[in-house]
Amino acid sequence: GAGVSQSPSNKVTEKGKDVELRCDPISGHTALYWYRQSLGQGLEFLIYFQGNSAPDKSGLPSDRFSAERTGGSVSTLTIQRTQQEDSAVYLCASSLGFLRGQYFGPGTRLTVT
Amino acid sequence: AQKVTQAQTEISVVEKEDVTLDCVYETRDTTYYLFWYKQPPSGELVFLIRRNSFDEQNEISGRYSWNFQKSTSSFNFTITASQVVDSAVYFCALSAPTGANSKLTFGKGITLSVRP
């Protein structure tokens, strides 16, 4: 079946602009995660959605970052007023539920100039 | 706090050699899960294995094997008879759920290069 998909695959933006990154999880997966992968920080957890529960936003690095998940499926990660330190690969993962294996998408490479 | 340490940063071997990737974890939780992921040059993280803290039985899958030892807080990964296609970055990860969040805490990754 189809895996996790993310769009765009690459995004170049100017400092100060807002960006939206999209994730389509595997159909039927109730849990959705966003991670960020950068050279300096490795792989970091950002936010977690599970069904209709309130998301766990404990990994978001600043209030410029937000995410939503509509209809329990597609998720959008929004970064407002982008900074150069936001440059990274943003990875989305989904799983069948709590503590099941997480399946990752190909990521969105964000470059802030 | 949870922590995963992959002390090896880069390993280079010749094809057909065996190679072991080390992983040491820290958690105060008694229930936790350990994972290995592979990230080939294409960039996509590929799930390899999940183990829970109550099951210390070692696992073998083809050329891959995993050695989980709670006494040393280690979850090492061995590739037998390595192949060029094994070249990738390998991440060890830990999930020790607090509340309802099963987020993964990753190690820094080990870059494995297998030369023909």
**CA-CA-CA-CA torsion sign (B78, B84, B86, B88):** positive
Measure the CA dihedral B4/B8/B14/B17, to 10°: -60
Over 70: is that where the pLDDT of B77 sits? yes
Burial (0-12, 13-18, 19+ Cβ within 10 Å), B16:
exposed
User: Rounded CA gap, B59 and B39, in Å?
Assistant: 21
Contacts of A93 in chain B (CB under 8 A): 45
Contacts of B50 in chain A (CB under 8 A): 100-101
* Confidence grade of residue B43 (pLDDT, cut at 50, 70, 90): confident
Average pLDDT of the residues in B16-20: 97
Over 90: is that where the pLDDT of B86 sits? yes
User: Rounded CA gap, B7 and A60, in Å?
Assistant: 27
Over 80: is that where the pLDDT of B100 sits? no
Please report the pLDDT score of residue B91 as a whole number. 96
Below-70 pLDDT ranges, chain A: 1, 98-99
**Angle of CA points B1, B6, B12, to nearest 5°:** 170
Cross-chain CB nearest to B102 (options A98, A103, A104): A98
Q: In this complex, is the C-beta atom of B55 within 8 Å of any C-beta atom belonging to chain A? A: no
Instruction: List, for residues B55-73, the tens digit of each pLDDT value.
Output: 888 888 899 999 999 999 9
Q: Which of residues 62-91 of A touch B (CB under 8 A)?
A: 89, 91
Calculate the average pLDDT of chain B. 92
Q: How far is CA B103 from the centre of its chain?
A: 16
Whether the upstream peptide bond of residue A8 has omega within 30° of 0, thus cis, is: yes
